[in-house]
Structure 1
Amino acid sequence: DFNLAGEIWIIRDYFKKMGVETVANITGDGRVADIQRAHGAALNVVQCSGATMDLAKLMKEQYGTPFLRVSYFGIEDMAESLYAVARFFEPRDPKIMSRTRRLVREELDALLPRIKEFRRDLEGKKAAIYVGGAFKAFSLVKAFRLLGMQTVLVGSQTGTKEDYQELYEICDEGTIIVDDSNPLELSSFLEEKAVDIFVGGVKERPIAYKLGVGFCDHNHERKLPLEGFVGMLRFAEEVHRTVMSPVWRFTRVGGGRGPNAAGFDSSPLMGEVAL
């Protein structure tokens, strides 16, 4: 994990409450002394599989260290990641699963009432996702579904055939799935599907701005943590704040053509040309 906006500290705190010692962080907030003893860990937990899966495989080959591929985004995947770690250590620590269940229950008790509030406004809204790694896309589809939103477009730059098969299985019928798409293709699909929010990285932000579509930053430059249960709350807050902004009534994709709520007509004027 790369510890974007302090995310790895959130996950380390979860592990501590479960009774699991974190030997080293690779690479976010890593320390030389910790990395030097990383080969002695009982388990590698891999979040960014595109960047560090090869390292995990190498450590398994050289040191016999098993690894788990996880995702810390969204409620479902965050909980399952903790449960997977608990299952691994359960033969050595029979009480770890009960501690993990208690941790997840406490987090959900605090989170779900807030999610319910956001869902009332977001039900039926449309989302588009285009990210670097497919593992993010899986979690984001589930996160939007929890908010009552439909993912109508999803894709990644580095996904494999197996990744896209999994996306196909978890997405709704009619969802457009793209691989390593270009700005023109993405723009066309965003307009075709009349999306309410587009989740992407630094290269996708200008597309959303030019089309007048809400944008959620999910790249390595973001300033707010989106991992963990608290990250899901921040994600929901950002999505709600963006989608429900009154500014979209003035845009074509976000507000549609014709008279809008402010009384202005956003239909094409005579003399407009397409270049």
Structure 2
Amino acid sequence: MAVREMDILIKERRESIFCNHKSKHDNFQCDKESVSGTVSQRACVYCGARVVLNPITDAYHIVHGPIGCASYTWDIRGSLSSGEEVYRNSFSTDLREIDVIFGGEKKLAAAIDEIYTKFKPPVIFVYCTCIVGVIGDDVEEVCRKAEKRYGIRVIPVKSPGFAGHKSMGYKAACNALIDLMGELKDRDASVNSKKTINYLGDFNMSGEVWILKNYLEQMGVEIVSTITGDAKCEDLKKAPKAALNVVQCAGSMTYLAKRMEEKYGIPFMKISFFGVEDTKLSLLNIANFFNDEKMVEKAEKLIFDNEGMVNSELEYYRARLKGKKAAIYVGGGFKAISLIKQFRDLGIDTVVVGTQTGKKEDYDVIREITEEGTIILDDANPYELEKFMKEKGADILVGGVKERPLAYKLGVAFCDHNHERKHPLCGFIGAVNFAKEVDYSINSNVWNIIKRERGGHYGKELCEYECESM
């Protein structure tokens, strides 16, 4: 059932908002460019590229553009490293007005020279920002000359912010990774007999890659390369020799998995280690792929031991959270699906769910696993999130840094499931951490104080309160 036109502030957004109805499938629009003027929560192309590439711990990153773009560094996020820490820094050509007039190629070449002279990096990524896309610097030629001069990889990342949205930045980064991996000269049939994988789409938030490595090593699976959390350039170059690619963040890495399948012949599967249900399923799917009975037995034992260990803690939180309502707004569809399952396991009903970069197949699954009447949104704006959270009586919003102020303004609990968080949310221990955070936030006494001060719940009463205050 489509949402009534009168309920939507901007009529061009009507086809991207759906009130779930199991017996009717309207023409739901997704994966499109944002409607101008809607204050989309999406980030820019450059942001998407930086998210993917920056966790490579020993690579150097030059932002070819104004100094403001370089402020977006991984140091403001939760990606951890077992080795180099250089990825926490940004290097910028600091383009000014005079460079816009006369071009910034000489400045870029000088920046590459300086970095090589001082640090001798194995790889340099050069990001093209909006202003570079406007003035037309030949960044590729500058990078080619630098490669010949120093004998290292200097890879341009075509990421002017205005060229699309965040998912386009993912593609730009994935293309740069394929460029780094290069041609595969010695892959043979014996690769498929090895128990090796690449782990795509995990950026090692709070050490999550290490948790999953531990699980997989217990099963007898070797990780060739993590792409890109705690990654090293040499490991990324070895990635084409893995037998399987597993994709955690489908939004950022499915494109890379498909390209690696075409170029190197590596099959891939989508997995998710968020929540007990999906963690169990993912471990078993990986074990079954290798058709190894001992590996399957090890996976089953790992699941049995860990599930038994966390179940009593989860039961405590289920009793405290049953009957609550959740709103979800995250980057990709696959994460949203896992969160819906996690909330269901805790006895929480998802009443609003949206993503920034979800695909049609993601929304088809979301329709199937949510109840009738659930509001489903693609590329939502703050007005729409606020409106439907009020209407549906959501008790908590799960999102990222941009959504946090919206939740607190409404007097609603919030759970950060983005890159800024400081504790792991994946695997069995992550399921407990998630339940604990949701409980602490929903059942905090602060919400009772806010309701009392505002004269009731944040729905109708708060709406009237805000109108009177304007």
Give yes or no for TM over 0.5. Answer: yes
Give the aligned residue type for 1:96: M
The separation in 2 between residues aligned to 1:64 and 1:255, in whole angstroms, is: 62
1:69 aligns with one of 270, 274, 278: 270
Q: 1:14 to 1:268 in 2, by over 3 A?
A: closer
Cα displacement string for residues 116-141 of structure 1 (whole angstroms, at most 9, x for unaligned residues): 11111111011110001011110000
**2:317 alignment partner, SS class:** helix
Matches within 5 A, 1:194-209: 194-209=393-408
Question: Which of these residues, 302, 311, 321, is aligned with residue 122 of structure 1?
Answer: 321
CA separation in 1, counterparts of 2:422 and 2:297?
Answer: 34
User: Is the 8 Å Cα contact of residues 155 and 178 (structure 1) preserved in structure 2?
Assistant: yes
Distance 1:246 1:196 in 2: 13
**How far does residue 53 in structure 1 lie from its aligned partner after superposition?**
1.4
The residue that corresponds to 2:384 in the other structure is: 185
Structure 2 residue 383 is the aligned partner of structure 1 residue 168: no
Aligned length: 266
Report what 2:348 is aligned to. Answer: 149
In 1, Cα distance between the equivalents of 2:462 and 2:271? Answer: 47
Q: In 1, distance between residues paired with 2:257 and 2:241?
A: 13
- What RMSD in Å do the two structures reach over aligned CA positions? 2.2
- Residue type matched to 2:331 in 1? G
Preserved contact between residue 212 and residue 427 of structure 2 (Cα < 8 Å):
yes
DSSP 3-state at the match of 2:336: helix
Percent of matched pairs sharing the same residue: 52
Q: What code does the residue aligned with 2:399 have?
A: G
**Distance in 2 between the 1:243 and 1:66 partners?**
42
Matches within 5 A, 1:27-106: 27-90=228-291, 93-106=292-305
CA distance in 1, matches of 2:385, 2:214: 38
Q: Distance in 1 between matches of 2:380 and 2:463?
A: 29
Unaligned runs of 5+ in 2: 1-201
Alpha-carbon shift at residue 274 of structure 1 (Å): 4.2
Separation in 1, partners of 2:413, 2:360: 29
Residue pair 2:251, 2:358 contacting (<8 A) in 1 also = no
- Counterparts of 1:60 and 1:87, CA distance in 2: 19
The secondary structure found in structure 2 opposite 1:26 is strand
Residue number among 188, 201, 215 corresponding to 1:14 in the alignment: 215
Unaligned segments of structure 1, at least 5 residues: 260-265
Partner residue, 2:96: none
Residue number in structure 2 paired with 1:26: 227
Distance 1:268 1:101 in 2: 51
Cα distance in 1 between the residues matched to 2:462 and 2:336: 35
One-letter code aligned to 1:9: W
- What SS does structure 1 have at the residue aligned with 2:377? strand
The alignment status of 1:112 with 2:318, answered yes or no, reads no
Q: Name the CA distance, whole Å, in 2 between partners of 1:129 and 1:267.
A: 21
Does the aligned pair in 2 maintain the 1:129–1:200 contact within 8 Å? Answer: yes
Q: Distance in 2 between matches of 1:207 and 1:226?
A: 22
Does the CA contact (< 8 Å) of 1:126 and 1:195 recur in 2? yes
| Cα distance change of structure 1 residues 49 and 249 upon mapping to structure 2, 3 Å threshold | same
Shift, 1:251, TM fit? 2.4
Q: Does 1:136 align with 2:335?
A: yes
Aligned to 1:262: none
Q: Structure 2 CA distance, aligned partners of 1:131 and 1:77?
A: 17
CA contact (8 A) 1:249 1:256 kept: no
Measured after TM superposition, the shift of residue 56 of structure 1 is: 1.1
The aligned residue for residue 273 of structure 1 is: 468
Cα deviation, residue 256, structure 1:
7.7
Aligned-partner Cα distance in 2 for 1:268–1:160: 33
Distance of 1:198 and 1:251 partners within structure 2: 17
Q: Does the C-alpha gap of structure 1 residues 204 and 111 become closer, same or farther in structure 2, counting only changes over 3 Å? A: same
1:213 paired with 2:412, answer: yes
Q: Say which one has the larger Rg.
A: 2
